[in-house]
A and B are shown apart, each in its own frame.
Chain A
Amino acid sequence: MHGIIVCKMKNRVGVLNRLTGLLTRRNINIESAVITSISNNQLAIAEFKLQVADPQEREHLKRVIAKQLDVLSVEWRAKHSDTKLVSDIEKD
Chain B
Amino acid sequence: MLVGQNVKDNLKKHTLATGSDVLLETLAHQGVELIFGYPGGAVLPLYDAVYRQKFNNILVRHEQGAVHAAEGYAKSTGKTGVVFVTSGPGATNAVTGIADAMLDSIPLVVFTGQVGCASIGKDAFQEVDILSMTAPITKQNYQVHDVNSLSQVVIEAFAVAANGRPGPVVVDLPKNVAADLANAKDVKTNDSVVHSIQQKEEIDEGMMAKIRMALLKAKKPLLLAGGGVIAADAVPELRKFAHNFDLPVVSTLISLGAMPATDSLFLGMGGMHGSYQANMAFYECDFLLNIGSRFDDRLATNVSEFAPNAQIAHIDIDDSELGKVIATDFPVRADAKQALKWLNNMNLSKNKHEKWLQQLTTWKQQHPLRYDESKGKIKPQAVIEEVGSLTAGDATVVTDVGQHQMWAAQYYPFKRPRQIITSGGLGTMGFGLPAAIGAKLAEPKREVVLFVGDGGIQMTVEELDVIRAYNLDIKIIILNNKTLGMVRQWQDLFYEKRRSQTVFNGQPDFIKLAHAYGIKSVKLSPKHWRETLADVFAKNESTLVEADIPALEQVYPMIAPGQPNQVMMGVD
- Name A residues whose Cβ lies closer than 8 Å to a Cβ of B: 13-14, 17-18, 21-22, 25, 56, 59-60, 63-64, 66-67, 69-70
Contacts and interface: CB of A to CB of B under 8 A. Distances in A.
Nearest to B138: A18
Nearest to B142: A14
Given A67-B318, A69-B140, A60 B323 contact: yes
A25 B136 CA distance: 9
Contacts of A22: 136
A73 to B, nearest CB: 14
Nearest to A13: B143
Given A60-B323, A69-B140, A17 B135 contact: yes
Contacts of B151: none
B318 A56 contact: no
Contacts of A60: 320, 323-324
Contact of B320 (A13, A21, A67): A67
Kindly name the residue among B132, B318, B320, B323 whose own CB sees the greatest number of chain A CB atoms within 10 A.
B320
A63 B136 contact: no
B139 A21 contact: no
B213 interface: no
Contacts of A17: 131-132, 135
B139 A63 contact: no
Contact of A14 (B141, B318, B320): B141
Given A60-B323, A64-B320, A67-B320, 4 more contacts: A14-B141, A63-B319, A67-B319, A69-B140
Specify the main secondary structure of chain A where it touches its partner: helix
Nearest to B322: A63
Contacts of B140: 69-70
Contacts of A64: 320
A18 B140 CA distance: 9
B320 A66 contact: yes
Interface string B175-206: 00000000000000000000001000000000
B136 A21 contact: yes
Contacts of A59: 323
A60 B131 CA distance: 24
B231 to A, nearest CB: 16
A60 B141 CA distance: 23
B70 to A, nearest CB: 21
Nearest to B156: A69
B469 interface: no
A69 B319 contact: no
A69 B139 contact: yes
Nearest to B132: A17
Q: Identify the 3 closest CB pairs spanning chains A and B, nearest first.
A: A63-B320, A64-B320, A69-B140
Contacts of B197: 69
A22 B327 CA distance: 22
A38 B539 CA distance: 66
A63 B140 CA distance: 16
Given A67-B318, A67-B319, A69-B160, A21 B324 contact: no
Contact of B135 (A21, A56, A66): A21
Interface in B62-82: none
A13 to B, nearest CB: 7
Contacts of B327: 56
A18 B139 contact: no
11 contacts: A14-B135, A21-B136, A22-B136, A25-B136, A56-B327, A59-B323, A60-B320, A63-B320, A67-B319, A69-B160, A70-B140
A17 B135 CA distance: 8
A14 B319 contact: no
Interface in B298-322: 318-320, 322
A56 B140 CA distance: 25
Contacts of A14: 131, 135, 141
A43 to B, nearest CB: 15
A56 B139 CA distance: 23
A25 B132 CA distance: 13
B135 A18 contact: yes
A56 B320 contact: no
B162 to A, nearest CB: 13
Interface string B310-345: 000000001110111001000000000000000000
Contacts of B320: 60, 63-64, 66-67
Contacts of B131: 14, 17
Contacts of B139: 69
A39 to B, nearest CB: 17
Contacts of A56: 323, 327
A13 B135 CA distance: 12
Interface in B262-320: 318-320
Kindly name the residue among B143, B197, B324 whose own CB sees the greatest number of chain A CB atoms within 10 A.
B324
A70 B193 CA distance: 12
A46 to B, nearest CB: 16
B269 to A, nearest CB: 26
Contacts of B143: 13
Interface in B112-150: 131-132, 135-136, 139-141, 143
Nearest to A66: B320
Kindly name the residue among B135, B141, B160 whose own CB sees the greatest number of chain A CB atoms within 10 A.
B135
A59 B132 CA distance: 25
Contacts of B324: 60
A66 to B, nearest CB: 7
A69 B197 CA distance: 9
A63 B318 CA distance: 9
A66 B321 CA distance: 12
Nearest to B324: A60
A56 B303 CA distance: 14
A66 B135 CA distance: 15
B277 to A, nearest CB: 31
A21 B138 CA distance: 12
Contacts of A25: 136
Contacts of B160: 69
A59 B131 CA distance: 27
A71 to B, nearest CB: 11
